[in-house]
Amino acid sequence: MPRTASQTLKVGDTAPDFTLKTGNREDWHPQRFSWKKERRAGLCAFRFSSVCSAQLPSYEAELGRFNDLDTEVVSVSMDSGFALAAWAKSMSTSFPLLSDFSGVQSTSLS
């Protein structure tokens, strides 16, 4: 059965194809990576919030373990690319921070 926009993704579901911008204003989409690789998407409504301030550094601290499990970590928020660039610099994150400024993809991925 095809997934509708109102359904929540479950473990093992195929994510919809989409393109978002990174903090460096580069296009990012899941299809550019091997489908054999697992993905962990952290959804943060807005950067610099207390939840995101704890969540993203914990992902960064465990990035070696994610890599060992062949898992790619990305974070999606409704912030602008400029905010994401500042966030990545202040938090020293090395994984992609993606801008879903309109909130369309964040809603469909949650």
The average pLDDT across 63-76 equals 86
One-letter amino acid of 17 = D
Long-range contacts of 27-32 (CB under 8 A, 24+ apart): 28/74, 28/96, 28/98
pLDDT for res 30: 74
Alpha-carbon distance of 7 to 110, in angstroms, equals: 9
Q: Of the ranges 24-38, 45-59, 62-76, which one carries the lowest mean pLDDT score?
A: 24-38
Between 49 and 85, the more confident residue is 85
Q: What is the pTM of this model?
A: 0.72
CA distance 6 to 110: 9
Average pLDDT, the chain: 77
Q: Which residues does residue 76 pair with via DSSP β-bridges, in sequence order? A: 43, 98
pLDDT tier for residue 9 given thresholds of 50, 70 and 90: low
